[in-house]
Each structure stands twice: as structure tokens, then as C-alpha cells.
């Protein structure tokens, strides 16, 4: 069974630009969660989508948004990028509320 895939794997953007990251979950998984990982900060929860509905949201500004499509694929968007948005963005899928399977992440660098 194919794992969670994320595209692109690496991205370099300039301050003020916007970016869209994509996540394809494991087939049959209905939940997709997004996390931001920076050195020393662990895994910061961004949001979770379940069956196309945002089920949970973390404490990030409104510049961070996401959505989930009918095939469970998910995208997250960050507008007006700031230097502090540089991080590894991980998505994780699960069937429901059990173990999460993480993708390899998208490394975003904002210059």
C-alpha cells in the first residue's frame, strides 16, 4: 500500500509570496492533519480535515489555511509568507482517530 505523499518536497519562496502544499493520504484514510516542525519546537498542530470538513484547528494566524477534497487529498496554503514560516511541513493521514501515518514533509524556506 502506497504511503502518504507530499509535494513539493522542497520549496524556496520570498517574503510576501504565497505557497500551496499538497498531501495525498493513504488510500482509504479520511483524516488528514498538518503540522509545522521547526528545530526545538516539536510538531505544532495546524489543522485537521476529516471527510472534507475542518475538524480541528491549531493556534496559527489566518494566513494559514487548508482544504480537503472529496478524494481525501488535502492542500494547505500560506499567504503573505514571513521568514518565520520557514519550516518542515508534515501531513499525516489516518483512517479515523487512530494511528497517524506521516508523509516525508515539504521543506519550505522563506528568504
* Contact status: 14 vs other proteins (CB under 8 A): no
| C-beta of residue 81 within 8 angstroms of C-beta of residue 16 | yes
Could you give phi then psi for residue 85, rounded to 5 degrees? -85, -5
Total number of residues that touch other proteins (CB under 8 A): 26
* Of the candidates 4, 87, 90, the residue with the CA atom closest to the CA atom of residue 47: 90
Query: Residue 18 or 51: which CB sits closer to other proteins?
Result: 51
**Helix (H, G, I), strand (E, B), or coil: what is residue 92?**
strand
In angstroms, what is the minimal distance from the CB of 61 to other proteins?
Answer: 17
Note whether 95 binds other proteins by CB under 8 A: no
The residues of the shown chain that bind other proteins, judged by CB under 8 A, are 4, 33, 35, 40-45, 48, 50, 55-58, 90, 92, 97-105
Amino acid at each position: 500500500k502506497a504511503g502518504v505523499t507530499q509535494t513539493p518536497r522542497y520549496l524556496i519562496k520570498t517574503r510576501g509570496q504565497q505557497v500551496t502544499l499538497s498531501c495525498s493520504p493513504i488510500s482509504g484514510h479520511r483524516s488528514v492533519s498538518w503540522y509545522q516542525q521547526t528545530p526545538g519546537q516539536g510538531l505544532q498542530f495546524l489543522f485537521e480535515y476529516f471527510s472534507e470538513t475542518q475538524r480541528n484547528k491549531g493556534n496559527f494566524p489566518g494566513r494559514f489555511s487548508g482544504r480537503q477534497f472529496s478524494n481525501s487529498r488535502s492542500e494547505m496554503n500560506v499567504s503573505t509568507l514571513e521568514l518565520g514560516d520557514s519550516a518542515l511541513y508534515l501531513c499525516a493521514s489516518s483512517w479515523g482517530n487512530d494511528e497517524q501515518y506521516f508523509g516525508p514533509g515539504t521543506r519550505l524556506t522563506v528568504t
